[in-house]
Structure 1
C-alpha cells in the first residue's frame, strides 16, 4: 500500500508541473516570433516613416553622442550629415531636431496645436511648481488661461509702458556708474554691470523693490539666480532612463535642486507676504506680484489662481527676463566692438537724434531704424535661446513626410536656422543693413528669424525685452565712446559661449568708456 501511495503521488505531481512549464513554452515558441515581428516593424518604420538619424545604442540610444557642452552646435553638426530633420533616441524618449525655416514653419505654425506641449523634465517641473506657469507647462486648459491672463494683464503694451520710469531710472544709474569708471580711466566689466542692471529692473517690475544694494542679500540673491538658471538646463538621468534615476540621487543633483527650490520658494513667499501685509506702506510702484494677487481674488476668471501659479509666473519673469536680456545686451556690445564700422554708423544715427540731450528716452529710440536693425542682426547671430524650449507632440502628426509619434520631443535649432545659407546671404557676417531693405521681423511670422519662437509658445515678453534693449544700447552709445583695454585688439574679443539653455558669452566683456557728456 505504501508503494502504491508513493506511485500515485508521483502521478498526481505531473499535472502540477504544467503551469510552471507553460511560461517557458511561451518564451521558447511565441517570444521569438514576436521578436522577429518587432524587428520587421522597426526596420519598416526606420526605412519609410522615421526621419534619418545616427545609430543608437541599447538603452541609452544617442545620449552618448550628446555631452553637456554646446548642444545646439552638436545638433547643427548632426544636421549637416542627416539633413534638416533627423531623429534621436534619448534613452527611452524619442526626439526630432529641425534646422531649416521651412521645417520650423511646419513645427511652429502648421502643426502648432499638435506640437505645443512640453516634455516633463525634472528640473524644470520642480522649479516651475509642476508646470503651474507659462513656460514649462503642458498644453492644458489651465496653461491657456494663465497665459491669456499674463498676456493681457502683465505683458500688454500698456502695461509695458507703465514701467518706463523704472527702466529710465535704472539706465541713468548705470550710466553714472560707467561715467565713474571713465573719469578714473578704469575698465568697465559690461558683463557684470549689465547682469546687475537686468536683475534690478526685473526685480523692481516683478517684486516692487531692488535687491542688489543690500549687502549680503546681493550675493545670496545672485547666487540663487545663477543656480536657478543652471538647474533649468541640467541633465537629469531620470528624465531619459527612469530606471537609473538613482544616479541623480547619488550625484547630489536631486539634493541640489531641492535646495534651490526651497530657497526660491521662501523668497517668493516672503515677497507675497510683504505685498499682502495690510500695514504695508503705500508703494508708488504697482509690481507684477500686486497684479497677480489682485487677479487671485477675481472670481470672474475661468480658473482659480493659486499661490503656486503666482510663484511659477514670478519664476518665469525673473529667470527669463534677467537671463535673456543680459545675454543679448552683452552680445550686442561684443558685436559692435568687433565691427567698428557698424559701431560708428550706429553712433552717428543715435547722436543725430539725441543732439545735445544727455539721455535718450523711449520715444527717441522709435526713430532709430539702424539701432533696430542692429538688434535684429544680433538676435539672428546670437539668439538668447538657441534651441528655444523643447516642445512635445500630443498626438501623431506628419512632418516633411515623416510620421512623428505622440510624446516625441521636438527641438527647433534656431541658431542653425538663423545661419542657414539658403535663407541668408553671407550668414556668418554681422551686417545690420540686411534688415534695412528687407521687411522681416522677429514676432513669429518670418521663420528665418525666430529668436522668441512662434505660435502658441512664442515668448509673451517680446515688447518688454525689445524696449529695454533699445533704451540701454541707445544710451550706452550716446553717452560714451567705447575702446578696448590697453594691450587688446579686436581679435582678442572672443565669441565663445557657456553651456546652458541661454547662450551667454563665456568670457566677460571688459571695455573702456570715454565720456561724451557731463553726467
Structure 2
C-alpha cells in the first residue's frame, strides 16, 4: 500500500508537470516540426540505444531544426552547420546556459563546474584561469616533458607486448595513457600503471564515474523525480566523487606542504603549480573547493574522450592499411625512424592531422556536444525555441551529411589535405569541441594528446588482428555514452618495425 501510494503521488506529479509544460508551449509560438509526442513518455522511446543515429534519421524527415518532447523536457535538435552557427554564434548570448543532468547535483557540482555554470562572473573567472594559467601555449610547452615521459611508457608497454606476443587492448592502453597524460600535466604524477594491479584506484574511480554518468537517468527526463533519485545514480556519483576529492586533497596538500617547508625547492612545471602561484599572487575567487570541481571536469571531459578518439583512429587505420602506411611514412620522412615524435612536430605532419580531423568527422567524441539551454524564447528560421528548452547540436549528423561531404560513410583523410577546414570552432561542418563562448577549454591539450598518442602507436609498430581476422572485418558499431565508444573493444598484436 505504501508503495502504491508513493507511485501514484509520483505519477500525479509527472502528469501535472507534463500538462503544465504543454499548456505553456501552446502559448509560446510556432515550434519546429517534429514527431508526435506520446502522453507522459513523449518521444523517449524514439531515442533508442544510439540517440545520435535515431535523431539523425528523424532529421531527414522533419528537417535540420527539430522539436521533441523527452519526458517533460522540451528539446531542440540541430542537425546542420548553418543552424548550428546561429545557435552557437549568432544567438550565443541567449543560448549559452546549460541543462545540467540530475547527477551533477552531487556535491553541488553544477554550481561550481565550468561545464554546468551559467555564463556569469564565476564562469568567466574559471574560463580565464583555464585559458591563461592552464591551456595557454606557454603553459603547455612548459609541461610537455611530463607528457613525453608518459608516451615513452606507452611505447615501452607496446614493445613489451611485442616481445611476449601479447595482444593489446588499444582502448584500455589509450585510457591509461590519457589518464596519466592528464595527471602528469596537472600534478606530475601517474594515476595508473600498465599490467599492474596496484595504483589502479584512481583509474577505476574515473572510469566508474564516467560509466554511471552515461546511464540514462529518469530524473533527467522528468526533473520532478530528481529528489527521489529512482535509479540511485546521484548516490553512486556522490560516492565516486567523494573518493576522487580525497585524492585531489592529498595531492594539493602535499604540494602546499612542500612549498611551505622547502621554498627553495625547484618548482614543478605542472598546472597545479601554476594555479597555486596564481592564487597566491592574485585576489582570486578560486578556492580549493572550486579547484577540485574544475579538476574533476578536466578528468571527466578529457580522459575518456581522448582515449575513445585514439581507439577510433587506430580502428580506422587498421581497417585501412594503406592509410596506416601513409601516416607512418609521413612520420618516418618528417621526423625520422629513430627519433621520438614531439609536440612541435605536429604542424609538420599534414596527413596525421587529416587522419585526426577525419576521425572527428566520422566518430565525434561527443555526438551532441554538451546540451545548451535557452534563456528566453528565441526565433530561428521562423520557429520559436522556447525558454528553458535544451538544445542538442547533432555533430554526428553533420559529419554524415552527403550534401556536405563526398562519400560521407567512408574514412578518407585525404579530403582534408586540400580543404581549408579546422576543428577549432569556426568551421561549423566540423565542431567536435563546440564553438562560441562554450567551446571546450581543454582543446589545446586534447589536440596535442591525440596526435602524439596516435603517432606513438604507429611510428614504430604495425598491428595484426587476432585469429586471422581481415582488416575490413573489424567491428565499427558504436555505443552511446558520455563519449562515443566502440561497442566492441579494439584488440590487436603489435609488430615491431625493423
TM > 0.5: yes
Map 1:104-503; keep pairs closer than 5 Å: 104-126=84-106, 129-213=109-193, 218-245=199-226, 248-249=229-230, 251-277=231-257, 278-279=260-261, 282=265, 285-301=268-284, 304-503=285-484
Query: For the residues of structure 1 that align with 2:131 and 2:119, how far apart are their CA atoms?
Result: 16
The answer to whether the 8 Å contact 2:50/2:479 transfers is yes
Q: Does the 8 Å CA contact 2:105/2:234 hold for their aligned counterparts?
A: no
Conservation of the 8 A alpha-carbon contact between 1:387 and 1:413: yes
Paired with 1:185 and 1:395, the residues of 2 have a C-alpha distance of: 60
CA distance in 2, matches of 1:198, 1:275: 23
Of residues 73-82 and 151-160 in structure 1, the stretch that sits farther from structure 2 once superposed is 73-82
Equivalences for 1:84-123 in 2 at 5 Å? 84-123=64-103
Structure 1: distance between partners of 2:125 and 2:267:
29
The aligned counterpart of 2:14 is none
Deviations 1:178-216 (A, max 9, x none): 111112333222111111111111111122211214966
* 1:217 CA displacement: 5.2
- Which segment is superposed worse, 306-315 or 447-456? 306-315
Query: Contact 1:334–1:509 at 8 Å: present in 2 too?
Result: yes
Could you tell me how far 1:58 is from its partner in structure 2? 3.0
For residues 109-137 of structure 1, give each alpha carbon's deviation from its aligned partner in whole angstroms, at most 9, with x where no partner exists.
11111111101322124267233132121
C-alpha separation in 2, matches of 1:241 and 1:468: 38
Residue range with higher mean Cα deviation, 228-237 or 379-388: 228-237
CA apart distance, 1:495: 0.8
- CA distance in 1 between counterparts of 2:108 and 2:456 reads 35
Cα deviation for residue 238 of structure 1 reads 2.9
CA distance in structure 2 between the partners assigned to 1:136 and 1:239 by the alignment:
14
| CA distance in 1 between partners of 2:247 and 2:428 (Å) | 38
What is the aligned counterpart of 1:65 among 46, 49, 52? Answer: 46
Distance apart, 1:255 and its partner CA: 2.3
- Offset at 1:464? 1.0
- Tell me the residue number matched to 2:9: none
* Alpha carbons 2:461, 2:495 under 8 Å: kept: yes
Which residue in the other structure is 1:28 paired with?
A: none
Q: Confirm or deny: 8 A CA contact 1:128 1:136 kept in the other structure.
A: no
2-side partners of 1:195 and 1:127: how far apart?
A: 26
Equivalent residues of 1:79, 1:86 under 8 A apart: yes
CA contact (8 A) 2:461 2:496 kept: yes
For residues 91 and 280 of structure 1, do their structure 2 counterparts lie closer, same or farther at Cα, with a shift above 3 Å needed? farther
Structure 2: segments with no counterpart, 5+ residues: 1-18
Q: Deviations over 1:413-432 (max 9, x none)?
A: 01001111111111111111
**Is the 1:187–1:513 Cα contact (8 Å) retained in structure 2?**
yes
Indicate the structure (1 or 2) with the bigger Cα radius of gyration.
1
SS of match in other structure, 2:216: coil
The 8 Å contact of residues 129 and 308 in structure 1, kept in 2 or not, is answered as no
Q: Are the counterparts in 1 of residues 179 and 303 from structure 2 also a CA contact under 8 Å?
A: yes
Aligned to 2:6: none
Query: What secondary structure, in the 3-state scheme, does the structure 2 residue paired with 1:292 have?
Result: helix
Once the two structures are TM-superposed, the CA of residue 316 in structure 1 deviates from its matched residue by 1.5
How many aligned residue pairs are there?
474
Aligned to 1:425, the other structure's residue is in SS state coil
Q: 1:61 to 1:280 in 2, by over 3 A?
A: farther
Q: Distance in 2 between matches of 1:513 and 1:489?
A: 15
